[in-house]
Amino acid sequence: MIRATLFLLLLAAAPANADRAAAEAAYEQGAWELAAYEAQRLETADGYAFAAGALLARLMVEDVGEDREALAERAVDLAEYALRLDEDHVEARLRLAGALGFRGRYMGGWRAYLTRLPQRGRNLLEEVVARQPDNAWALGMLGAWHLEVARRGGSRGLRALDASVEAGMGYYSQAIALDPQSPAPRYFLALGLAALDEPAYQTRIRDLVGSARALPPRDAFETAILGELDEFSARLDDRRAASAWADARLQR
């Protein structure tokens, strides 16, 4: 009922002077809700996918507290609506995978597995990579998928979902190579490895954090990432403290 109501509201919101440039400008400034609103008013698959991406950006860099589950559901609904308009829309698939990942993060691992959220998310990401093998976001998200399985499910989860830390690192490495000016894939790879609390990854984590912090931000999202990198970097001398911080960061 809630989703049906959302779809009706989306259809009823006439795009008076709707402007993609306004949505992009709001996104670059970190006004995620305004970006989502402006993009949604376009009433196109592109617009709804962009709106879902703006909400995901907010989830990725803001601690939204109790609103996080509702925000993830809104992103799921927007991405799914984009796919209703264009079932082949690549960005909508990417945003849906990200939104499903957040939805799964906010429920127990076993429940997420039984409802096939991680499996569906992986399938969507692999479909995007098959179509666009140079899509840095999709590759980075696939890397995050593997490392999140390792963090939440341990060796049992890795076996059940045919995932691996090595695959996660490999996908992230491809994403970094494709978009070397972005601090995001470096940061999230370092965060994922730190959460595993394995001494063998410490040098790699430091290298990732150091190289990410040296990059200039290109928008509000990357500015927020660099702020988090400063917090993370301050904890790297204590492996356990860094691991606890990374684990808490990945749960919010």
pLDDT tens sequence across 222-245: 999 999 999 999 999 999 999 999
pLDDT exceeds cutoff 80 at 1 = no
pLDDT exceeds cutoff 90 at 26 = yes
Nearest-angstrom CA–CA distance, 218 and 184: 11
DSSP code, position 42: T
Residue with tokens 């995001």: 184
Task: Say whether 139 sits in a helix, a strand or coil.
Answer: helix
Residue with tokens 């979902």: 161
Confidence of residue 18 (pLDDT cuts 50, 70, 90): low
pTM of the model: 0.90
pLDDT exceeds cutoff 80 at 10 = no
What is the model's pLDDT at position 116? 87
What is the model's pLDDT at position 65? 87
Are the C-beta atoms of 194 and 242 separated by less than 8 Å?
yes
- How far is the CA of 162 from the CAs of 28, 159, 234, in angstroms? 37, 5, 34
User: What is the DSSP code string of 147-210?
Assistant: HHHHHHHHHHHHHHTT--HHHHHHHHHHHHHH-TT-SHHHHHHHHHHHHTT-GGGHHHHHHHHH
Nearest-angstrom CA–CA distance, 191 and 252: 13
Helices (H), the chain: 2-12, 20-28, 32-40, 45-61, 68-85, 90-105, 109-114, 117-131, 136-160, 165-178, 184-195, 202-213, 220-233, 239-251
pLDDT exceeds cutoff 60 at 4 = no
- For the segment 1-13, the average pLDDT, to the nearest whole number, is 42
- How far is the CA of 151 from the CAs of 20, 49, 118, 168, 201, in angstroms? 37, 28, 13, 12, 14
pLDDT exceeds cutoff 60 at 17 = no
Q: Token digits for 153?
A: 């499910």
| Radius of gyration from C-alpha coordinates of the chain | 18
Confidence of residue 110 (pLDDT cuts 50, 70, 90): confident
What is the model's pLDDT at position 11? 40
- Cβ contacts of residue 78 below 8 Å, gap of 6+? 36, 40, 48, 49, 51, 52, 55, 95
